[in-house]
Copies of this chain bind each other. A is one copy, B any other.
Amino acid sequence: MNKHNIHTLASLAGVSAATVSRVLNGNPQVKPHLKEKVLHALEETGFRPDPKAQSLRAGKTRTISVILPMIDTDFYHRLLHSMEPVFDEAGYDMALFPLVGGFRVKKYQDPTSLPYHGDALILASLDPDKLYANHEVPFRKPITLVDTHHQHYHSFSIHNHQAGKLAAQHLLLNREPIVLIGLRQDEAGPFASPVFEERMEGIQQGLQEQGRTLAGTLLVDELGTEGGRQAARLWLEQHPGPCQFLCLADTLALGVKRHLQERHLECRVIGFDDHPFAATESLTSIKQPIEQMGEMAARHVIQQLRGEVYTLQSTVLTPTLKIRQSSRLWTHP
C-alpha cells in the first residue's frame, strides 16, 4: 500500500495538511481550486486517512464491543438481535469478538487489542475473574456484563437458580424418578459459565425441599441433540421403565424425545431455554427473557455512555415455565 500521510499528501498537492483534512472531512469552505488539487492528489495516491489517528483525535469510535463465548447458538442470536436496534438508534455500531475455541483468551489480555478500541464493552456469559488473569478488565470505559454477574460490574442476568428450581418443582408433581442430563464443564476454564452450575443448585434445592433426590445424573460433552439421545439410551438400557428427564438444555431434551419416539417409550422430558423448536416439538421448557435482558443491557450501556448512570446496577430477570406436552405423558402419533 501507499506510505503517505496527510503531510506528504499536502505537499504533493501544494497545500497545507489542514486543507487536506478539511477536504477529507467535507468542509465546505475550501476554495474550489484548492479542493481540486487535493482531490487530484487523493486520486493519484489512493491515500486514506488512518482511522486510528482519526478516532484518537475524536476521542471515540462510536462502537460498542461485545466479547462472547460463541456466535453459533440461538441464545446469542436472540441476545445480539435484541441489543442491536438499541445501539443503532443511539448511533452506535456493534463489534463482535467471539471466543471461538478459546483461542483468543490470551489476546484479550492485551489492552491494545481491538475490543478495547470501542467506547464501551459488553461481556456476555463470561466471568471476568476467569477471563482476566489479573482479575481486571483492561479497559477504562464502561463495562457491562450480560448473562453473568460480578460484584464489581454492572450486570444483567437471568435467575438461573430459580430456573432450576422451577424445573424441579414441575417434575416433583409426579412420582417417577428424575434423571438429570447436564453438561460436563471445565470449571476452571475461561469459558466456564456459572449458568449450568446455578441451574443445578436450584434443582437440588427444589428437590431437597420435597425430600427427593435425583435418581441419576448423566453428563454430556456437548449441548447437541445427539448427546441427549445417547444419554437417554444409556439410562434406559440400564433402568427400563418410566422416568422423568430433566435436561439442562432444550437441545438435549430434543435428543431425549427423539430417542423415546424411536423406541416408542413414554417418559417425561423438560428442557431449558425455550428454544424456537421447543414449541413445535411440544417440549416443556424454562423460558428465559433473553430479549428483555439484551435490550435492558444495551439501554444501560447507552446510558453509561451518556453519563446518566451513577450507581452500580445489577439486574436479575426471572425465568418462567412453559408447560407443553412433553412433561405430560404423551401418546404416539
Contact = CB atoms under 8 A, between A and B. Distances in A.
Contacts of A47: 140
Interface string A5-23: 0000000000000000000
Contacts of A53: 56
B111 A118 contact: no
Interface stretch (A93-101, A204-212, A241-249): A93-101
B51 A116 contact: yes
Contacts of A77: 71-72
Given A54-B112, A117-B51, A117-B61, A96 B96 contact: yes
Contact of A84 (B2, B81, B101): B101
A281 interface: no
Interface in A168-207: none
This chain: copies in complex:
2
A88 interface: yes
A46 interface: yes
Contacts of A138: 48
A160 interface: no
Interface band, chain A: 35 or more
A114 interface: yes
Nearest to A68: B96
A31 interface: no
A62 B103 CA distance: 14
Interface string A100-131: 11011001000111111110000000000000
Given A46-B140, A62-B107, A107-B93, A118 B112 contact: no
Given A95-B96, A96-B98, A97-B95, A48 B114 contact: no
A93 B81 CA distance: 23
Contacts of A62: 107, 112-113
Interface in A50-105: 50-56, 58, 61-63, 65, 71-72, 77, 80-81, 84-85, 88, 93-98, 100-101, 103-104
Interface in A219-274: none
Nearest to A140: B48
A250 to B, nearest CB: 17
Nearest to A225: B280
Contacts of A97: 93-96
A153 interface: no
21 contacts: A1-B140, A1-B141, A46-B140, A48-B139, A49-B111, A50-B56, A51-B113, A52-B56, A52-B61, A58-B112, A62-B113, A71-B71, A71-B77, A71-B80, A80-B100, A88-B104, A93-B97, A94-B97, A95-B115, A114-B118, A117-B117
